[in-house]
Amino acid sequence: MSTDLGRQGLRFAIIGGGMAGILAAIRLRQAGEKFTVYEKAGRLGGTWRENRYPGLTCDVPAHAYTYSFEPYAEWDAYYAKGGEIQTYFEKTAEKYGIMPHVRFDSEVVSAVWDEEKGFWRLGLVTGEEVVAEVVIAASGVLHHPKLPDLEGLDSFKGRAFHSARWQDDAPVDGARVGIIGNGSTGVQIVTALSTRASRLVHFQRSPQWIMPVPYFQYSEEEKEAFRREPALIDEIRNNKEYWDNIYRFTHAITDTHGPEIAAIEAACLDNLENSIRDPELKEKLRPNYRAACKRLIYSWSYYDAVQRPIVEVERDRIARIEPEGVRLADGRLHELDTLVLATGFHADRFIRPTTVLGRDGVSLDDIWSVRPTAYYAVTIPGFPNFFMLNGPTGPVGNFSLIDIAERQWGYIDQLLGLLRSGEAQTIEPRAEAHAGYEERRIAAARTTIFGSGCNSWYLDATGVPSSWPWSYEAFADAMSAPVMEDYAMTVEAELVAR
C-alpha cells in the first residue's frame, strides 16, 4: 500500500446527492476535507427530486424533517410538501458551499478497492475513473421503482406509470384515474386526486391502518417569528411529546403485546369507526393484520377522500390489465384513462446495481445474496473505509431519517478520526463482530411487529424484517460511540512489516 497519504490528505467520494449525501458533504466541508459528491442525476434532492406526484407530503413533521443545524422558517404547514423539501435541500446545499463539489450526471457504476494503493477506484457512467481513500455510500433506499407483475400492463391504451415517474401531461383533471397500491404513496395520491378526477378507483390488495394526525398551516406571522427567533423552531424540534411519541413508537414495534401498540391500534380503529359512514366501505378498509406491521399511514384526510362520490375503493383481486382498464377476478372492468402504479420500491438494492468489490475482489452483491446487511447499518467487513448512511438494518418507521443519518454520521466521524490522524490507514468491522451483530439483530427482528405476519418492504427475501429491531434509544446509544474493539485497522507498523 502506498504511504503518501499524509502528504496529500484523504480524498472522500460521496455517492449520491440526496438528504444523506448533502449531510456528509456539509460535514466534510466544515472539516476542511477534500470531497466530491457523485450524483447520477442533474439535480440534488434524491427521493424528493424523483417523486413529484400530486399530494406528495413528508409524514414526519416539517420542523423535525430538517438538519439539526439548519432550521427552516419557511415551512407552510405542519407536514411539508415534497416541492418545499426539495427547495430546502437545494438551498441548504447552496448555503453550505456544496455545489462546486458536486459532479452531476455522474452515476458511479463500480467501486473497486485497490489493496496496493489503499484507495477505492470508482468507475463513472461517463467512462472516467476517479479515486478516493474513503467512500460514503449515501445512495438512498427507496429509489428503484417496483412495477407490479400484472398481465397485460403493456396493452393499456391510456397512460400507465409508476408513482415515482410522474407524467405531468397524463390526464388527471376530469379524467378516470386508477391507483394501484395503498402504501403512503397511493394514499397521498388518492387524497390529492379525489377533488380533481372525474372518477377515481383505489385498488387495494391489503387494507391499511390509518393513524389520524393533526394538520395545520403556519401563518405568515408564525413564519416571521421563526425567522426572527430560530429558538422557537428548536422548541418544536425538541418538543417532548414529539420525542415521547417516537420512543413509544419504537417500543410498540419491539413489544408486540405492550400498551403502546395497543394504543396505536385503538387510535386507528377509532379513526375508522368514527370517520367512515358506510358499513360496507368500513369493512373494506378494516385491516386484518397488526398495526405498524407495514409502515403506518399517517393521514388527516384519506378517509374523507374515499367518501367523495367519485371515489371507489376496490378490494377485488386484479385479474389483468386490458387496453380499456383494469379487469377484476370477478369479471368486472374499471375503464380508465390513467393508471398510477403506486406499487413501491425494491427496498433491498441500496447502492446496487453499482458493482462494489472489496478486499480480494469480494463482491458486495455476493455477500448480500441472502439479504443486505451491514455492521450497525454502517460498515461491512472486507470493505475498508466504506461507510453507509441509511444503509441496511438501520431504523425504519414513522420518524425522521435525517435524525438517523445525523446520528450515523456522528458514528462514522469518530471512525474517520482515526484515518485523519494517521493512526490507521484503513478501518472496517471485524467479521466476527458483524456476524454476532447480525445474529442478535435477526433473532430480535423476528419478534418485532414487522415480523407479525404481513407483506411489506420491511421484510427481506427470506421474510425476516430487515430493520433495526431495538428501541430508538438503543440506536442513539449505539451511534454515540463505536465499539472500537469490533473494528480492524491497518496501521503503518503493519504495512512496514509486510
Which residues sit at the interface with ligand NA7, rule CB under 6 A? 142, 148-150, 163, 180-186, 205-206, 295, 318, 342-344, 455, 457
Residue 81 beta carbon to ligand NA7: minimum distance, rounded to whole angstroms:
14
Q: Which residue is nearest to ligand NA7 (CB)?
A: 183
CA–CA separation, 144 vs 40, rounded Å?
A: 13
Residue 498 beta carbon to ligand NA7: minimum distance, rounded to whole angstroms:
46
CA–CA separation, 203 vs 211, rounded Å?
A: 20
Residue 458 beta carbon to ligand NA7: minimum distance, rounded to whole angstroms:
9
Q: Which residue has the cell 422557537?
A: 232
4 or 149: whose CB is closer to ligand NA7?
149
186 or 391: whose CB is closer to ligand NA7?
186
47 or 425: whose CB is closer to ligand NA7?
47
CA–CA separation, 88 vs 64, rounded Å?
A: 13
261 or 296: whose CB is closer to ligand NA7?
296
Residue 347 beta carbon to ligand NA7: minimum distance, rounded to whole angstroms:
7
The distance of Cα 344 from the centroid of its chain, to the nearest Å, equals: 12
CA–CA separation, 458 vs 301, rounded Å?
A: 25
CA–CA separation, 86 vs 104, rounded Å?
A: 16
318 or 416: whose CB is closer to ligand NA7?
318
Residue 272 beta carbon to ligand NA7: minimum distance, rounded to whole angstroms:
17
184 or 250: whose CB is closer to ligand NA7?
184
By CB neighbour count within 10 A (0-12 exposed, 13-18 middle, 19+ buried), where does 191 fall? buried
Residue 377 beta carbon to ligand NA7: minimum distance, rounded to whole angstroms:
16
Strands 176-180 and 199-203: parallel
375 or 457: whose CB is closer to ligand NA7?
457
- 12, β-bridge pairs: 35, 134
Residue 317 beta carbon to ligand NA7: minimum distance, rounded to whole angstroms:
8
